[in-house]
C-alpha cells in the first residue's frame, strides 16, 4: 500500500461521525422503549446485553479475525450493510425473539467496526499523533448530531396542526414545544432504529470510498493471544488489579446513567420525573458529549496538576454528583439539564485517563492487549452487569403502582460510585518508576 501524500481527514472525520451517529441514535431511548413492548426485565436484559456480549466476543475473536482476513473498508461496508438492515428490522417487530436476534446480529457486526474505523484512520494518516484526535472527535460530534433529528421526529403533529401557528418562526416554536409524551412517545421511539439503520446503510456505501486498508498478513500480530496472557499476568500487581476492578464498578455506574436517564427525563413531574418533552430528551443527554469534547482539552493539564489517582477520583465523583442532583433535585429541570455537563468529567477524567495510564505503564509489546483487558470491563462486563440489574431495579424494586421512587433508585449508583472513589483513594498507588510493575513510565505529578 502506498502512503497517500495527504491524509484524507475529511473522509475519515465523516466516517467517524457516521460510525458513532448509528450507536447514538438508538441507545439513549431504548431503555424506556423495551418495557413498552411488554418485554419482561429478563427479556430486556438479553436485548440490552447484545452489545456487551458482542464487545467481549469482538475483543477476543471477531476484531482479530476481521483484521487478518478482510480489507478493512470492505469489512466496514459489509458489516454496516447487514447490521444496518438488522437494526432497521428492530423498528418493525414487537416480538422478543426476532427483536433479540436482530439486535444481536447488529451488535456482533457493529462492535468490530469501532476498531476497524480506527485501523482505517491510522493506516491513512501520515502523522497519527497529531491527526487522530481531530478525526476521532468526529465520533463524538456524530453522537451529538444523532440526538437532534428527534426534536422534529418525536413531535405531536396533531397538537402542532391544532395550534395553527402563523409564520415560520411561530410554527417552529410550536413544533419544538410540542414533544410527544407517554405511550405516544414510547411508540414513536421505533424511529430511532430507522434513523440508525439508514445511517448504517449510508456508511456501508461511503465505506467503499475510503482509503484501501488491506488485511494484515498471517504473520502479523501472531503473538496476540500470548499478549493477552501477558496482560492478564500484570493483574498480579495490586495497583493494576485495583484499577481494573474500579474500572468495572465505574462502568456499571456509567451504564446506570444510560439505563435510567432517558426514562427519568421523560417521566411526568407528578410521577417523580423531570417532565421534559419527548423530543428534547436526546438533545438534553447530548450536552454530556459536548462537555466531553471540552473536557478532553483540559485533561492533559489536569493530569499534570493532580496526577493519575486524583484525576480518576474526580471522574468517578462526577457520577456521584450527577446522581445526587437526580435524587434530591428532580423538580429542577434547569439543574438537571446543567448537570449533564458532568458527563464530560466522568468520561475524560476516568475512562480516557485509564487508557492513557495503560499506554504509559504497560510494556509496548502487549499494550494493545492491555487496552483490551480494560475494555472488557468498560464495554463488556460492566455493561452486562448494569443491563442485567437496572431493568429489574427500576421495574420490580423501585416502581410500585406505576410510580417510581427515583430518589431510592439513584442512591444505588451514587453510593456505588462513592465506594469506588474511596477504594481508588485508599488502594491505588502506582509506582513512580517502572521496576515494580515491569512496565514503563512514571506517573505524572
Cα–Cα distance between 396 and 392 in angstroms, integer?
5
Q: Do 211 and 298 have their domain in common?
A: no
For residue 338, tell me if it sits in a domain: yes
Predicted confidence at residue 60, as pLDDT, reads 67
For residue 182, tell me if it sits in a domain: no
Strands 399-400 and 403-404: antiparallel
Tens of each residue's pLDDT in the chain, 445 residues:
444 456 688 899 999 999 999 999 999 999 989 999 999 999 999 999 999 999 888 776 666 666 677 788 999 999 999 999 999 999 999 999 999 999 999 999 998 888 888 888 888 878 766 777 788 888 989 999 999 889 899 999 989 899 888 888 888 888 888 888 888 888 899 999 999 999 999 999 999 999 888 876 655 544 555 566 777 888 888 999 999 999 999 999 999 999 999 999 999 888 889 999 889 999 999 998 889 888 888 888 899 999 999 999 999 999 999 999 999 999 899 999 999 999 989 998 999 899 888 878 887 767 667 777 888 899 899 999 999 999 999 999 999 888 899 999 999 999 999 999 999 999 999 887 644 444 433 333 2
Cα–Cα distance between 55 and 255 in angstroms, integer?
14
For residue 75, tell me if it sits in a domain: yes
Q: Do 202 and 268 have their domain in common?
A: no
Predicted confidence at residue 130, as pLDDT, reads 74
Domain final residue, candidates 199, 222, 245: 222
Q: Do 218 and 235 have their domain in common?
A: no
Q: Do 330 and 354 have their domain in common?
A: yes
Cα–Cα distance between 60 and 56 in angstroms, integer?
6
What confidence tens digit (pLDDT) does each residue in 86-100 have? 999 999 999 999 999
For residue 172, tell me if it sits in a domain: no
DSSP letters of 405-438?
A: -HHHHHHHHHHHHHHHHHHHHHH----SSSTTTT
Domain range for 7: 1-154+189-222
Cα–Cα distance between 225 and 231 in angstroms, integer?
10
Q: Do 196 and 231 have their domain in common?
A: no
Predicted confidence at residue 272, as pLDDT, reads 87
Q: Do 210 and 265 have their domain in common?
A: no
Predicted confidence at residue 215, as pLDDT, reads 74
Domain final residue, candidates 222, 240, 273: 222
For residue 183, tell me if it sits in a domain: no
Identify the three-state secondary structure at position 399.
strand
Q: Do 244 and 337 have their domain in common?
A: yes
What confidence tens digit (pLDDT) does each residue in 173-218 have? 888 888 888 888 888 999 999 999 999 999 999 999 998 888 766 5
Domain final residue, candidates 203, 222, 241: 222
For residue 391, tell me if it sits in a domain: yes
Number of domains in the chain: 2
For residue 288, tell me if it sits in a domain: yes
Q: Do 286 and 200 have their domain in common?
A: no
User: Which residues lie closer than 8 Å to 128 by C-beta, 6 or more apart?
Assistant: 121, 122
Q: Do 314 and 262 have their domain in common?
A: yes
Based on its alpha-carbon atoms, the radius of gyration of the chain, rounded to whole angstroms, reads 22
CA distances from 135 to 25, 131, 142, 199 (A): 20, 6, 11, 19
Contact 110, 22 (CB under 8 A): yes
Distance, C-alpha 54 to centroid of its chain = 14
Cα–Cα distance between 292 and 346 in angstroms, integer?
8
Q: Do 267 and 203 have their domain in common?
A: no
Cα–Cα distance between 279 and 147 in angstroms, integer?
9
DSSP letters of 72-102?
A: HHHHHHHHHHHHHHHHHHGGG---HHHHHHH
Predicted confidence at residue 62, as pLDDT, reads 60
Q: Do 256 and 362 have their domain in common?
A: yes
Backbone angles phi, psi at 400, to 5 degrees: -130, 125
Task: Kindly report the CATH number assigned to the domain that includes residue 311.
Answer: 1.20.1250.20
Q: Do 265 and 405 have their domain in common?
A: yes
Amino acid at each position: 500500500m502506498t502512503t497517500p501524500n495527504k491524509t484524507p481527514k475529511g473522509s475519515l472525520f465523516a466516517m467517524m461521525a457516521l460510525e458513532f451517529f448509528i450507536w447514538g441514535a438508538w441507545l439513549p431511548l431504548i431503555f424506556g422503549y423495551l418495557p413498552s413492548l411488554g418485554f419482561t426485565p429478563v427479556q430486556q436484559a438479553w436485548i440490552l446485553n447484545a452489545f456487551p456480549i458482542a464487545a467481549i466476543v469482538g475483543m477476543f475473536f471477531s476484531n482479530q479475525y476481521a483484521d487478518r482476513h478482510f480489507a478493512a473498508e470492505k469489512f466496514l461496508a459489509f458489516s454496516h450493510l447487514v447490521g444496518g438492515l438488522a437494526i432497521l428490522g428492530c423498528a418493525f417487530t414487537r416480538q422478543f425473539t426476532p427483536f433479540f436476534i436482530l439486535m444481536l446480529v447488529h451488535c456482533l457486526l457493529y462492535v468490530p467496526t469501532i476498531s476497524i474505523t480506527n485501523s482505517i484512520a491510522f493506516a491513512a494518516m501520515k502523522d497519527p499523533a497529531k491527526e487522530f484526535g481531530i478525526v476521532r472527535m468526529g465520533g463524538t460530534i456524530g453522537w451529538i448530531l444523532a440526538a437532534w433529528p428527534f426534536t422534529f421526529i418525536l413531535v405531536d403533529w396533531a397538537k402542532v396542526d391544532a395550534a395553527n401557528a402563523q409564520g415560520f418562526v411561530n410554527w417552529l416554536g410550536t413544533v419544538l414545544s410540542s414533544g410527544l409524551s407517554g405511550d405516544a412517545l414510547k411508540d414513536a421511539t421505533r424511529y430511532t432504529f430507522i434513523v440508525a439503520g439508514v445511517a448504517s446503510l449510508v456508511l456501508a456505501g461511503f465505506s467503499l470510498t475510503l482509503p484501501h486498508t488491506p488485511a494484515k498478513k498471517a504473520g502479523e500480530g501472531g503473538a496476540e493471544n500470548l499478549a493477552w496472557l501477558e496482560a492478564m499476568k500484570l493483574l498480579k500487581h495490586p495497583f493494576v488489579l485495583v484499577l481494573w476492578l474500579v474500572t468495572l464498578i465505574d462502568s456499571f455506574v456509567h451504564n446506570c446513567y444510560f439505563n435510567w436517564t432517558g426514562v427519568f427525563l421523560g417521566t411526568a413531574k407528578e410521577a417523580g420525573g423531570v417532565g421534559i418533552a419527548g423530543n428534547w430528551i436526546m438533545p438534553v443527554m447530548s450536552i454530556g458529549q459536548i462537555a466531553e469534547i471540552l473536557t478532553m482539552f483540559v485533561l492533559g493539564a489536569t493530569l499534570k496538576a493532580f496526577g493519575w489517582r486524583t484525576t480518576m477520583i474526580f471522574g468517578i465523583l462526577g457520577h456521584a454528583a450527577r446522581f445526587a442532583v437526580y435524587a434530591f433535585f428532580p423538580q429542577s429541570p434547569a439543574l438537571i439539564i446543567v448537570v449533564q455537563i458532568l458527563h464530560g468529567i466522568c468520561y475524560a477524567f476516568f475512562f480516557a485517563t485509564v487508557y492513557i495510564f495503560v499506554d504509559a505503564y504497560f510494556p509496548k509489546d502487549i499494550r494493545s492487549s492491555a487496552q483490551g483487558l480494560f475494555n472488557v470491563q468498560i464495554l463488556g462486563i460492566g455493561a452486562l452487569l448494569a443491563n442485567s440489574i437496572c431493568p429489574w431495579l427500576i421495574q420490580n424494586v423501585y416502581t410500585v403502582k406505576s410510580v417510581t421512587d427515583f430518589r431510592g433508585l439513584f442512591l444505588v449508583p451514587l453510593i456505588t460510585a462513592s465506594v469506588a472513589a474511596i477504594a481508588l483513594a485508599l488502594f491505588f498507588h502506582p509506582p513512580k518508576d517502572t521496576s515494580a510493575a515491569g512496565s514503563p513510565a512514571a506517573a505524572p505529578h
